[in-house]
């Protein structure tokens, strides 16, 4: 059951807070308001304040003079352990973007639950690893009936992760916060349904804040339409 709590900022504006019984992360550009919020919460609930953020829900935060580095190194290590790929030979790239995976390209994989579990975990890893978003999106299209080829492609992504464990997102403080968006799409890359794949990334200043690689919902009749 969630609990409601009312707070007021310096201008007298009501702030409505919804509190969940779980770990919670508080941040903001007004440290006094954050402290006030913590005090009000502590009056109603037993809190344990852990101080500055270092590790939260699989994300590690590393502070430096240039900004913040966000990665999921421990989560990636646990994923490799689950897949029994800890001792795998690392590689510098995941499977090629030109790889054309199909529904029936090889015999069925004998452990589809493992495939689904690993790909599902990879989807969470993309929250700090936009470099694997395209590959994971491709693998996710074969969850219903994975084949040996699909599993080999999944292992290629894991080998790439093994060689890039410290990769993540870098957030740098800048006074100029201009939005820049870059997008592209292929045309009819899916051999199964001829649908295209769209990709984009959105920057706020020098910081990457949103990205996606996703198969389109309809069939494009030309590269321009894609």
What does each of the 226 residues of the chain score in pLDDT, given as a tens digit?
A: 345 555 666 676 665 555 556 777 887 778 888 888 888 888 877 788 888 888 888 889 998 888 899 999 999 999 999 999 999 999 888 876 666 788 888 899 999 999 999 999 999 999 999 999 999 999 999 999 999 999 999 999 999 999 999 999 999 988 788 999 999 988 877 777 788 888 999 999 999 999 999 887 888 787 777 7
Residue 15's contacts (CB-CB under 8 Å, 6 or more residues apart) are: 6, 7, 8, 9
Q: Could you state, in order of their start, the residue ranges of all structural domains in the chain? A: 3-51, 68-169, 175-215
| Among candidate residues 121, 207, 198, the one with its CA nearest the CA of residue 161 | 121
Q: CA 67 to CA 61: how far, in whole Å?
A: 10
Distances 94 to 137, 155, 156 between C-alpha atoms, Å: 13, 9, 5
């Amino acid at each position: 059951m969630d609990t409601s709590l009312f707070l007021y900022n310096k201008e007298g504006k009501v702030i409505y807070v919804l509190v969940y019984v779980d770990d919670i992360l508080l941040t903001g550009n007004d440290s006094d308001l954050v402290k006030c919020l913590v005090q009000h919460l502590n009056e109603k609930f037993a809190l344990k304040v852990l101080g500055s953020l270092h590790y939260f829900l699989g994300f590690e935060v590393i502070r430096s003079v240039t900004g913040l580095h966000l990665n999921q190194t421990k989560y990636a290590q646990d994923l490799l352990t689950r897949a029994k790929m800890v001792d795998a030979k690392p590689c510098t790239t995941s499977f090629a973007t030109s790889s054309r995976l199909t529904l029936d390209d090889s015999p069925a994989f004998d452990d589809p639950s493992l495939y689904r579990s690993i790909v599902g975990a990879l989807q969470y890893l993309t929250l700090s690893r936009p470099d694997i978003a395209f590959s994971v999106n491709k693998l996710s299209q074969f969850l219903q009936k994975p084949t040996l080829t699909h599993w080999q492609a999944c292992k290629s992504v894991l080998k790439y992760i093994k060689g890039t464990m410290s990769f993540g997102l870098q957030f740098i403080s800048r006074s100029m916060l201009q939005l820049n968006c870059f997008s592209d799409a292929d045309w009819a890359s899916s051999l199964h349904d001829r649908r295209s794949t769209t990709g984009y990334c959105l920057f706020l200043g020098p910081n990457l804040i949103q990205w996606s690689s996703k198969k389109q919902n309809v069939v494009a009749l030309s590269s321009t339409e894609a």
